[in-house]
Chain A
Amino acid sequence: MNKITNNKAWFLVLPVFFIVAISAIIPLMTVVNYSVQDIFDPQTRFFVGTEWFEQVLGDSRLHDALIRQIIYTLSVLFIEIPLGIAVALTLPRKGWGVSASMVLLALPLLIPWNVVGTIWQIFGRADIGLGGYVINMMGIDYNYSQNPMDAWVTVLVMDVWHWTSLIVLLCYAGLRSIPDAYYQAAKIDGASRWAVFRFIQLPKMQSVLVIGVLLRFMDSFMIYTEPFVLTGGGPGNATTFLSQFLTRMAVGQFDLGPAAAFSLVYFLIILLVCWVFYTVVMNAGKREEQ
């Protein structure tokens, strides 16, 4: 077959090219630009090679922030995924309860990040916040602005409150797609409740769970607004995660070179983890088919 060659067709790609260039490529290249130079003003700049990268990669405060970030993200995933699945399994399958629970679950998702931070900031206060007050009443000394552990737990609970609904909704959608015949067959085959979950429900939820884990990983790894509103990263550095650290470096100290270098590293970490996770899960699915 003769392929028709018409190079004018490339013009049709131009609009997309412009949009992608303006929205992604040009800003990203600016960051690359800053990460390899020391720029004082447009006329005064020096090429520094990998110096900024070496500096940020060797920064012990950044290591601490990274470790905090990893522990935080893993905690988020380990709590939200099982909790989301568990809640999805207990949701009603028909009747008015379906729409009622859908609305209730969707509510936290509709609240802007900084409002969530503000809500919990007030809710958790020992003097005027309902939550903080009640906890202190019960004899537990709780103060998120002074005790690092309390601050940490508060940020975690806040995230669970905000985002578990997403996992619930995704899992629920997956569960609803299972035909009744599967449950009936399982009953007749004498399957236990656990076997129904393990061999029917979990496999059907697999694809939505992959999406859920990816979204929650990316979002929690980039968390900024909520801890910023709640404690500003404190007390000390207890809730200073990577974004917080980066912002302080770029906006607070105006260290644009190291900040740019770190931005790139940050971006690559997320890209790499997502890619590895996605590939492993998808290949696992394929291998099973053979």
Chain B
Amino acid sequence: MARIDLKGLAHSYFPDPKTDEDYALRRMEHVWEDGGAYALLGPSGCGKTTLLNIISGLLTPSHGQVLFDGKDVTNLAPEERNIAQVFQFPVIYDTMTVYENLAFPLRNRGVDAKRVDARVREIAGMLDLTGKLKQKARGLGADEKQTISLGRGLVRDDVSAILFDEPLTVIDPHLKWVLRRKLKEIHNKLRPTMVYVTHDQVEALTFADKVVVMYGGKVVQLGTPQELFENPAHTFVGYFIGSPGMNIMDCKIDDGAAWVDGQRIGLSDRLLEAVSKQTGKIELGIRPEFLTLETGDAAKGSDGVDVNIIKVEDLGQYKIATTRFGASEIKVKLGEDEQVVGQSGVLRFAPEWTKLYADSQLVA
């Protein structure tokens, strides 16, 4: 197991990149701790698979270095880096049995037969494959094949890191949940460094200790799931994490407050001071969880933003109210028992959870 350092790392698929747009991966500096479970989260085309392939050695970065435990591995081939990788679609060796598939990475490295047998049986046990060890891999279903691929990734205990490239895409929802729990369990038990690429926030947030959110070839935030929720460093993180995502609206700072479509939203003094140094486009963001909506009698004389209520969806454990004022549509998360009366109400913004963004970056 190893610590992974990304030093001034950047990659372009063009031979002579000039603008930022030419880079699939923009310059980054990161240290990923030994034994951590990291998720690379982002939409398609954000560069997460590129980054993973650079770490695994399938791709050599055009700029910068990759270090495992301080050792430069930038120019080493995958087999020299001592890593394991699980791909999006099952890669299995058709003509081999399940046992032989799992043993393959060990046997190729000349591990002695007794040790191979012990490891294969241990991993098969964890993944519920014990009963199928003697079967040919060819006849199995996609779920089982992908489970074998996972097993092949986990079978070596001396790897620097285990990399997963959206490994649960082809797995059906129920089993997905089971396998994710298994991976988490294995991680807690053996503490390998794991890097997990996904575009599914639930997957990322449940699997990882630290989530690396990527957008447009950049790492926009690296943090724990809680940090991503409470303190999104970029409007994209706010929007991408959470269900529904953060409300983002254009605003002006004037007269000791933020103004959105002519309505006043109070800010903390600290934030006001910080934003006074900023130039560029200012946006205001707040999560639906931190808004209160008052309607009917409660709204009368209340100090807040007047809104029209467009619809209220009851999602069982909570309700989502969609409200509007001016050009902004704002979603509010309400408790199960909260009642919404009439077509209009007053929105109250919790000042400590009201965030400001200058050119999409958090103003702190």
Q: Name A residues whose Cβ lies closer than 8 Å to a Cβ of B.
A: 179, 181-182, 184-185, 187-192, 195, 199-200, 203-204, 288-290
Contact = CB atoms under 8 A, between A and B. Distances in A.
Given A199-B93, A203-B94, A189 B108 contact: yes
Contact of B104 (A179, A191, A203, A288): A191
Nearest to A191: B108
Size class of the B contact interface (CB-based, 8 Å): 20 to 34
A189 B108 CA distance: 7
A280 B89 CA distance: 31
A187 B149 CA distance: 14
B136 A187 contact: no
Interface string B73-107: 00001110001110111010111100000001100
Given A184-B78, A203-B95, A289-B139, A190 B87 contact: no
Contacts of B84: 188
A190 B108 contact: yes
A272 to B, nearest CB: 28
A188 B108 contact: no
Contact of A199 (B58, B78, B87, B95): B95
Given A181-B87, A190-B109, A288 B152 contact: no
Nearest to A290: B139
Contact of B85 (A182, A185, A192, A289): A185
A181 B89 contact: yes
Given A288-B138, A289-B136, A289-B139, A185 B108 contact: no
Contacts, number: 58
A181 B79 contact: no
Contact of A189 (B58, B88, B105, B139): B105
Interface string B132-169: 00001011000000000100100000000000000000
Contacts of A182: 91
B77 A187 contact: yes
B88 to A, nearest CB: 8
Contact of A184 (B87, B105, B108): B87
B56 interface: yes
A54 B260 CA distance: 105
A229 to B, nearest CB: 43
Contacts of A185: 85, 87, 91, 149, 152
Contacts of B83: 188
Contacts of B79: 187-188, 190
A289 B138 contact: yes
B139 A195 contact: no
Contacts of B105: 188-190
9 contacts: A182-B91, A185-B91, A185-B149, A185-B152, A189-B152, A191-B104, A199-B95, A203-B93, A204-B94
Contact of A181 (B91, B138, B139): B91
Contacts of B88: 181
Contacts of A288: 95, 136, 138-139
A188 B109 CA distance: 11
Contacts of A195: 108
B54 to A, nearest CB: 13
Nearest to B95: A203
Nearest to B110: A190
B60 to A, nearest CB: 14
Nearest to A204: B94
Contacts of A187: 58, 77-79
B153 to A, nearest CB: 9
Contacts of B87: 181, 184-185
B96 A188 contact: no
Contact of B108 (A179, A181, A192, A203): A192
A190 B82 CA distance: 9
Nearest to A182: B91
Given A195-B108, A289-B136, A290-B139, A188 B56 contact: yes
A182 B91 CA distance: 6
A184 B58 contact: yes
A55 to B, nearest CB: 48
Contacts of A179: 89, 91
A199 B96 contact: yes
User: Most B CB atoms within 10 A — which of A179, A181, A189, A200?
Assistant: A189
A288 B95 CA distance: 8
A195 B78 CA distance: 16
A192 B107 CA distance: 11
B233 to A, nearest CB: 33
Given A189-B152, A199-B94, A200-B93, 15 more contacts: A181-B87, A181-B89, A181-B91, A184-B78, A184-B87, A187-B77, A187-B79, A188-B79, A189-B104, A190-B105, A199-B96, A203-B94, A204-B94, A288-B136, A288-B139
B347 to A, nearest CB: 49
A288 B93 CA distance: 13
Interface string B46-61: 0000000000101000
A191 B101 CA distance: 12
A288 B96 CA distance: 9
Contacts of A203: 93-95
Nearest to B136: A288
Contacts of B77: 187
A203 B109 CA distance: 23
A192 B108 CA distance: 8
Nearest to A192: B108
A284 B104 CA distance: 23
Contacts of B149: 185
A184 B96 contact: no
A90 B238 CA distance: 51
A230 to B, nearest CB: 42
Contacts of A200: 93
A290 B97 CA distance: 11
